[in-house]
Amino acid sequence: MENGNITMRANDIFISYSTKNQDIALNVRRYLEAHGLTCWMAPESIPAGSNYTKEIPYGILNSKIAVLILSDAAIHSIWVNQEVTYLLNADHIVIPYLVASHKRNLLNIAPPFSTVIQRQPSIEHTCDTNSLENLLKTVQHQLGRLTTFTLPDDSDDLLQLGIKEIGEKGGLLYDMGQAEYYLTKAADMGNAVAMRHLARLLTDEKDYEKDARPWWEKAAQSGDIPAQIHEAYYWANKSMGTNQDYMDKAMTLLQQAVEEKKPKGMFLMANLLITKTNKHFSSQRATKLYEELLCMGHLKAAWFLGNIYKYSNGVQEDAEKAFNFYKIAAEAPDDVDAAYSLAECYFKGYGTEQNLELAFNIYEEYCENSDEFAERCGDCFYNGWGTKRNKKKAIEAYSKASISVYPEDNLGSKIIMRIIYKLVKLGSGIGESTLGSILQYQGNDKKAFKFFARSAKHNDIDGIFELAKCYYHGKGITRNYNSAFLLFSKVFFMKKREAYSYLGECYEKGRGVKKDQVKAKYFYNIANQNGFCQEWKVSVLNRK
């Protein structure tokens, strides 16, 4: 940040210090303020209830220079380290005020403090006022050296200053105050591009609806096309394909973008035009826009065109055209939608000759990218479609689906439930333990116990642990502490951290094993360290 920007800052001095040196810092502040200077110093300068991590960086930005109370405590303070780093990144003048009980070898101080020492001679703190007088003279001298800066009258110049701040500081929060200042000034002067940059900055850093969105709206109303597209996406997403008023707003905002051939705007307009609930539905207009986008090199448009011809969305179904468009779309790297659509064409012989080997190759390549790919790849290995039958690889493929540890999530997905049942059919411990959890969630403890037992036979760690809990709590089976303890011990050696607390309880209360308070405390402690133990268990044992 150039020295010229300094004159707009509210405070003369930012004081950085460790709380262990608070008395010295307060004396420095009082002395400087007594001589007409303004200081920013935490916590006094931070409004009640404010976030320290945000207020301190803005305090730095709004101060002209800084005084660092340099001591052993400051060097070892995480907060002071961060403050000094921020100050140096913002090109602030930092005056070191050295506090030490002995003569320090300043050459041995590590960064960022060594950088401060190299840039500015240190002033050594003494018990009399001499050191404060020297500090005052140095502060006044540095403030006097700061150049006078005249704020530009032209909004484009202010815009460039704001953009420069964002670019130079890498978009980090503690450097955004100056950028926001310039962009707000330019935006208040009616500069639509500045409004958009300000809106984007506030989108990242502040409350969207309260702080950012008003500027997006103003920029869009002022004719800024990127802002109009942004606003159109806002209303399109809010419509959820059902609210016609919101869809109308989005389409109105996109008119200029479409006229000027802006790809992002053309995409959204085409998507809205093929939304069947939209009263302005027009497959013909959408097809034209997608074809234009494809000619401009946007391969995703080919996937949408493929869907239009496959699902006869306003046009007659044409399998061959759909296949050809999917093939073009799949040329884009990592386009999972296009890859799956193409693989399905090969798999089913839709618009082309059936080729199970080509379909399998695509399913296997993208197996980890979606549940659909995981299921198809598993099906191919299980049935020998396009590859050799391989039960083990089928289980591995199915297991790459996004199976959740929460039964309610699995129940909410038809494809996940299909995959779970396929895993169970193949004798997969993962599938059996997952199905057991779902059945237990549904209240069928007896059936859940059977699946946990089957999973445990396949040495699945989750199945063994859940089986142990069934024995321990008597869920789906008669309570049996001996069996529970043996199973908890087994998963303990398999590194199942959730078992630690149960083992502690077994030793504490003599469940399935002889009482042993030393071992109980051991397991409670390691459970607590791993976040799987109630603190009261450790505290109860500590009193014994």
Domain annotation for the chain: domains and CATH numbers: 3-145 (3.40.50.10140), 422-542 (1.25.40.10)
The pLDDT of 167-176, averaged and rounded, is 50
Q: In what order do the strands lie in the sheet with 123-124?
A: 39-40, 11-16, 63-70, 94-98, 123-124
Rounded Cα distance between 3 and 146, Å, is 6
Rounded Cα distance between 462 and 214, Å, is 51
Q: 9: pLDDT confidence band, cut at 50, 70 and 90? A: low
Strand partners, 46: none
pLDDT number for residue 535: 56
Rounded Cα distance between 488 and 499, Å, is 6
Residues in the chain: 544
pTM: 0.69
pLDDT number for residue 61: 79
**Of the given ranges (3-7, 128-132, 314-318), which has the lowest mean pLDDT?**
3-7
Question: pLDDT for 28-43, tens place per residue?
Answer: 999 999 999 999 998 8
pLDDT number for residue 102: 41
Q: 526: pLDDT confidence band, cut at 50, 70 and 90? A: confident
β pairing state of 123-124 and 63-70: unpaired
* Type of residue at 266: M
Strand partners, 67: 15, 95
Q: 444: pLDDT confidence band, cut at 50, 70 and 90? A: very high
Helix or strand (DSSP H, E) at 41: none
| Vertex 400: Cα angle to 394 and 406 (nearest 5) | 120
pLDDT for residue 538 is more than 60: no
pLDDT number for residue 343: 98
293 Cβ neighbours under 8 A, 6+ residues apart: 263, 266, 267, 270, 300, 301
Phi-psi region of 409 (alpha: psi -120 to 50; beta: other; left: phi over 0): alpha
Question: pLDDT for 419-437, tens place per residue?
Answer: 999 999 999 999 999 999 9
pLDDT for residue 8 is more than 60: no
- Higher-pLDDT residue of 176 and 346 is 346
Question: pLDDT for 284-300, tens place per residue?
Answer: 999 999 999 999 999 99
Question: pLDDT for 52-111, tens place per residue?
Answer: 777 888 788 788 899 999 988 898 888 899 899 888 877 788 999 988 644 455 556 778
Range among 82-91, 161-170, 228-237 rated most confident: 228-237
Distance of CA 119 to CAs 106, 141, 144, 237, Å? 13, 15, 17, 53
Question: pLDDT for 447-457, tens place per residue?
Answer: 999 999 999 99
pLDDT number for residue 536: 52
The pLDDT of 301-311, averaged and rounded, is 96
pLDDT for residue 443 is more than 60: yes
467 Cβ neighbours under 8 A, 6+ residues apart: 449, 452, 453, 455, 456, 487
Contact status, residue 12 vs residue 39, Cβ threshold 8 Å: yes
Mean pLDDT, the chain, rounded, equals 89
Kindly state the percentage of the chain with pLDDT values over 70.
Answer: 91
The pLDDT of 129-158, averaged and rounded, is 82
Contact status, residue 280 vs residue 303, Cβ threshold 8 Å: no
